[in-house]
């Protein structure tokens, strides 16, 4: 396989010594099957062991290798260098998050928001273990399958200009995951979750840019989930006005 | 830790961000145009002379350009929203979600249809 060299312009930031971020160039030998993450590992293994970045599975499922490559948020294990345009490949940490070091961002904010939507089945009363598992038909699974594919990679947050400006916004993935549980026939927490996220800093902060769905590597379509949540929240609101007695969905 | 700072001109870095900004700005122009319509109504209620003055003013080249710009932005606003409408479908409305292309086309057709009816009602008698 033919090899050639490509220049990688990599964002560096060492909090103990650097005042601000800088870029460092590395020449990396590339083959047709080299992905951006391979190139970063090549840099770390042979050129500069101080370069810091996150990764684990190398197969697009752990969601930890997200970075901005040539300005676009991607999973670096899923992007072939040969498919990138331009002579230089620029690698930045994911936008919209504080940077801890080099290409590593701090995402406590996302974890808090994820916890806030209660990403687990809520039951008014748990069935006893002896009753076995909660059963679902294939159609009932299909109702939330798309959103359940989320791997928490946060590329959608990195792409969202609303989150970029106002980081109190609940954001795409946490909303999509709330929707995933609301649509789950085993779950009984729809009313509670809708009440929680139907706020100005929740789903109503979204102005429907739609870029989250463009960058999502798992086709979760968080933009669609948020708009559907807006419809559900409005219906809940109307129901509360018209039929105050019957809460829940 | 290096805090996040949004770069100036972020919306010029990606054509989809740019289109989004145009859609939002289009909302402002749509509101402005509504004001023009209200103004027109007011002049209309003031009698023939006032209305003729209003129409003459609207016919000047400057106002023609302003109207053309407002119309262009209103078009961008409407069409970009039609393109997004298919996304807001809680699945229970239909068994299978309608693909966005169909929702987009359906809205365009309805829009053109209603516009034709309105135009016919206004100019049909001429
Ligand atoms: S919704 Fe998509 S882009 Fe966002 S965290 Fe989940 S998998 Fe990643
Ligand atoms: S390394 Fe796991 S998703 Fe890329």
Question: What whole-number percentage of chain B has pLDDT above 70?
Answer: 93
Helices (H), chain B: 15-45, 48-58, 61-85, 100-123
- pLDDT-based confidence at B122, cuts 50/70/90? confident
Does A115 lie in the same domain as A89?
no
Q: Are strands A66-69 and A88-92 parallel, antiparallel or unpaired?
A: antiparallel
Cα separation, A228 vs B80, whole angstroms: 18
Does A136 lie in the same domain as A36?
no
Cβ-nearest to A209 among B2, B3, B20: B20
Contacts of B87 in chain A (CB under 8 A): 208, 210, 213, 221, 223-224, 227-228
Cα separation, A209 vs A198, whole angstroms: 18
Does A170 lie in the same domain as A144?
yes
What pLDDT sits at residue B100? 82
Q: Are strands A66-69 and A72-75 parallel, antiparallel or unpaired?
A: antiparallel
- Residue A180: give its domain's CATH number: 1.10.1060.10
CA-proximal residue: ligand 2, atom 1 (nearest): A58
Mean pLDDT, residues A210-239 taken together: 93
Does A71 lie in the same domain as A123?
no
| pLDDT digits 0-9 by tens, A34-67 | 999 999 999 999 999 999 999 999 999 999 999 9
Contacts of B24 in chain A (CB under 8 A): 207
Q: Which atom of ligand 1 is nearest to the CA of A157?
A: 4
Contacts of A155 in chain B (CB under 8 A): none
Say yes or no: A76 contacts chain B, CB-CB below 8 A: no
Q: Is the pLDDT confidence value at B109 over 80?
A: yes
Mean pLDDT, residues A217-245 taken together: 92
- Residue A91: give its domain's CATH number: 3.10.20.30
Contacts of A171 in chain B (CB under 8 A): none
ipTM, 2 decimals?
0.83
Chain B interface mutation, best of A185, A227, A229, A234, highest count of B Cβ atoms under 10 Å: A227
The total domain count for chain A is 2
Mean pLDDT, residues B60-70 taken together: 93
Is B20's CB within 8 Å of A21's CB?
no
Q: Which residue has the higher pLDDT, B41 or B88?
A: B41
| pLDDT digits 0-9 by tens, B85-108 | 877 765 555 667 788 888 899 999
C-alpha closest to that of A176 among A136, A203, A214? A203
What pLDDT sits at residue A28? 97
Q: Which of A38, A41, A65 to mutate to test the pocket of ligand 2 (most atoms within 8 A of CB)?
A: A65
Q: Which domain holds residue A73?
A: 4-105
What pLDDT sits at residue A249? 45
Does A9 lie in the same domain as A127?
no
Cβ neighbours for A54, distance < 8 A, ≥ 6 positions apart: A64, A65, A103, A104
Does A73 lie in the same domain as A137?
no
Question: What whole-number percentage of chain A has pLDDT above 70?
Answer: 98
Q: Is the pLDDT confidence value at A246 over 90?
A: no
| Ligand 1 neighbourhood includes A159 CB (under 6 angstroms) | no
Cβ-nearest to A223 among B2, B17, B87: B87
How is residue A153 written in tokens?
């990679």
Is A167's CB within 8 Å of B4's CB?
yes
Cα separation, A67 vs B18, whole angstroms: 22
A78 CA → ligand 2 middle, Å: 8
| Ligand 2 neighbourhood includes A62 CB (under 6 angstroms) | yes
Is B88's CB within 8 Å of A13's CB?
no
Per domain, the residue ranges of chain B are 11-123
Average pLDDT, chain A: 94
What pLDDT sits at residue A80? 97
For the domain with range B11-123, which CATH number is right: 3.40.50.300, 3.40.50.720, 1.10.260.40, 1.20.1300.10? 1.20.1300.10
Cβ-nearest to A100 among B1, B10, B24: B1
- pLDDT-based confidence at B19, cuts 50/70/90? very high
What pLDDT sits at residue B110? 94
Q: Is the pLDDT confidence value at A181 over 50?
A: yes
Of A156-160, A231-235, A243-247, B34-38, give the lowest mean pLDDT range: A243-247
- pLDDT-based confidence at B111, cuts 50/70/90? very high
| pLDDT digits 0-9 by tens, A109-145 | 999 999 999 999 999 998 899 999 999 999 999 999 9
């Amino acid at each position: 396989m033919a090899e050639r060299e490509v220049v990688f312009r990599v964002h560096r930031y060492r909090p103990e010594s650097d005042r601000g971020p800088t870029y460092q160039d590395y020449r990396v030998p590339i083959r047709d099957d080299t992905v951006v993450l391979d190139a970063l590992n090549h840099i770390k293994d042979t050129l500069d062991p101080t370069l810091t970045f996150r990764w684990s599975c190398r197969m697009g499922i752990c969601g930890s290798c997200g970075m901005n490559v040539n300005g676009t948020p991607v999973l670096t294990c899923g992007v072939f260098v040969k498919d990138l345009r331009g002579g230089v490949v620029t690698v930045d940490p994911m936008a919209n998050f504080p940077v801890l070091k080099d290409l590593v961002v701090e995402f406590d904010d996302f974890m808090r928001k994820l916890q806030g939507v209660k990403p687990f089945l809520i039951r008014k009363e748990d069935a006893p273990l002896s009753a076995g598992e909660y059963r679902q038909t294939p159609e009932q699974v299909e109702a939330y399958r798309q959103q359940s594919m989320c791997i928490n990679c946060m590329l959608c947050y990195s792409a969202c200009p609303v989150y970029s400006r106002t980081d109190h916004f609940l954001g795409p993935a946490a909303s999509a995951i709330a929707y995933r549980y609301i649509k789950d026939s085993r779950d009984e927490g729809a009313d509670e979750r809708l009440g929680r996220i139907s706020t100005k800093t929740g789903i109503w902060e979204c102005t429907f840019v739609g870029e989250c769905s463009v960058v999502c590597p798992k086709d979760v379509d968080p933009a669609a989930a948020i708009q559907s949540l807006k419809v559900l929240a409005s219906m809940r609101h109307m129901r509360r006005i018209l039929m105050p007695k019957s809460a829940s969905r | 830790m290096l805090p996040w700072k949004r770069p100036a001109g972020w919306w010029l870095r990606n054509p989809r961000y740019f289109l989004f900004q145009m859609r939002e700005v289009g909302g402002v122009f749509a509101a402005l145009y509504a004001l023009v319509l209200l103004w027109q109504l007011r002049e209309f209620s003031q009698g023939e002379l006032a209305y003729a003055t209003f129409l003459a003013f609207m016919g000047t080249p400057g106002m023609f350009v302003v109207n053309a710009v407002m119309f262009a932005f209103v078009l961008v606003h409407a069409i970009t929203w039609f393109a997004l409408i298919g996304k807001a479908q809680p699945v229970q409305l239909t068994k299978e979600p309608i693909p966005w292309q169909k929702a987009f086309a359906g809205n365009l057709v309805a829009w053109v249809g209603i516009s034709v009816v309105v135009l016919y009602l206004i100019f049909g008698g001429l």
